Amino acid sequence: MKKKLGVQFRKSRKTTHAFERLKYCKHCESYTVLEHEECDVCGRKNSFLSLRQLSHILSRRHFQKQLLILGLLICLAILSADTLWQLAAASVGGVVSLLLYALLQKKYSIYEKTNHFMRLISKEHDKIKSGLTRNLVEVNEDVEAERFKDAYEKIREVGCLFHSDAVKVCKIMLLNRFVLRKDMELELETLIPSTYDRDFIEYLGEVLKVQPWLLKKSVIDYVIRYKGNIFLEENGTRVIGQVAGAALRMKSYVVMYQDFISESLEYIPRERLLRLAKLLKANPDENWGSLREAASSLIETRYSFDPDFKGVL
């Protein structure tokens, strides 16, 4: 059994959108998601822009280009005036068109900016992908050099944009190297692989001990889907019991996953079974199906002499 490391992760930046994590180097036009002060391609310091800033710069350039064309046309109109009337028409027309242009810009620029942003993403996604792949190479180097904490912190950033199984498997592999604690910034739902993964089950068992609130519907669905495989694992029944026990935290999960909880009752820890019994007693009108009978039967068999269970069900 490999020795686990006690680590303190650097706090991950909270962003509303994933694209806010991307940084663009003004000098070499490369992208990265890692928190380096200097660009890992050209080595320049303080040369980064956010994607939003880049999009605004490009939108502003587009606006200035159009304004320049309009200005040139107005100048041409004025210069080509033969008579005073034409000169007056060109001048007034020019001023009015500039005012109209400014008004349109003020009213609709926000929609145009978002549209430009979308086009920028479409145009640059290959470069962004190359940047993220380069970041993954760095993660690889950290793993090979056994700098597991650094590797995890980096792949955590990359994983906000790349959601592939390979990235998830790598994250799980790294997380299984650490001693997990309640105060750590851990993840679970974002790590669910598309197929059965033994390391994910190992991680699931460990993370639910310290942060049971991370259990969500998608995780329970995964466990139910691969229940057969999980039972074959060394700690399979313990993990099933932990998942079923953690699901009891929310009444909606108990209602939704009655069958699963009913089948997993014998593996649920005592405290969680007590919680279930109290929940079933507090909600007699709910349609619990066979769950109530199964819980009663188990309590009768195992905990008939336990004072905490007296009169609960």
CB 175 within 8 A of CB 7: no
User: Measured from the CB of residue 301, what is the shortest distance to other proteins in angstroms?
Assistant: 39
Closer CB to other proteins, 18 or 57, in the complex: 18
If we measure between CA atoms, which residue out of 179, 247, 178 comes closest to residue 218?
247
User: Measured from the CB of residue 171, what is the shortest distance to other proteins in angstroms?
Assistant: 10
Binding stretches for other proteins (CB under 8 A): 2, 16-19, 66, 69-70, 73-74, 76-78, 80-82, 86-87, 89-90, 93-94, 97, 100-101, 104, 107-108, 111-112, 114-115, 117-118, 121-122, 125, 128-129, 132-133, 136-137, 139-140, 143-144, 146, 161-164, 166-167, 169-170, 173, 198-199
Contacts of residues 270-279 at CB distance under 8 Å and 24 or more positions apart, as own/partner, are 270/303, 270/306, 272/241, 272/244, 272/245, 272/246, 272/248, 273/298, 273/299, 273/303, 274/308, 274/309, 274/312, 275/248, 276/248, 277/309, 277/312, 277/313, 278/312, 279/248, 279/251, 279/254
User: What's the rounded Cα separation, in Å, for the pair 24 and 127?
Assistant: 10
User: What's the rounded Cα separation, in Å, for the pair 308 and 313?
Assistant: 11
Closer CB to other proteins, 87 or 313, in the complex: 87
Closer CB to other proteins, 161 or 215, in the complex: 161
Closer CB to other proteins, 162 or 257, in the complex: 162
If we measure between CA atoms, which residue out of 121, 70, 130, 120 comes closest to residue 96?
70
User: Measured from the CB of residue 42, what is the shortest distance to other proteins in angstroms?
Assistant: 23
CB 294 within 8 A of CB 264: no
Closer CB to other proteins, 37 or 82, in the complex: 82
User: Measured from the CB of residue 12, what is the shortest distance to other proteins in angstroms?
Assistant: 17
User: Measured from the CB of residue 213, what is the shortest distance to other proteins in angstroms?
Assistant: 25
User: What's the rounded Cα separation, in Å, for the pair 273 and 276?
Assistant: 5
Closer CB to other proteins, 116 or 292, in the complex: 116
User: Measured from the CB of residue 166, what is the shortest distance to other proteins in angstroms?
Assistant: 5
Closer CB to other proteins, 42 or 118, in the complex: 118
User: Measured from the CB of residue 113, what is the shortest distance to other proteins in angstroms?
Assistant: 9
CB 151 within 8 A of CB 174: yes
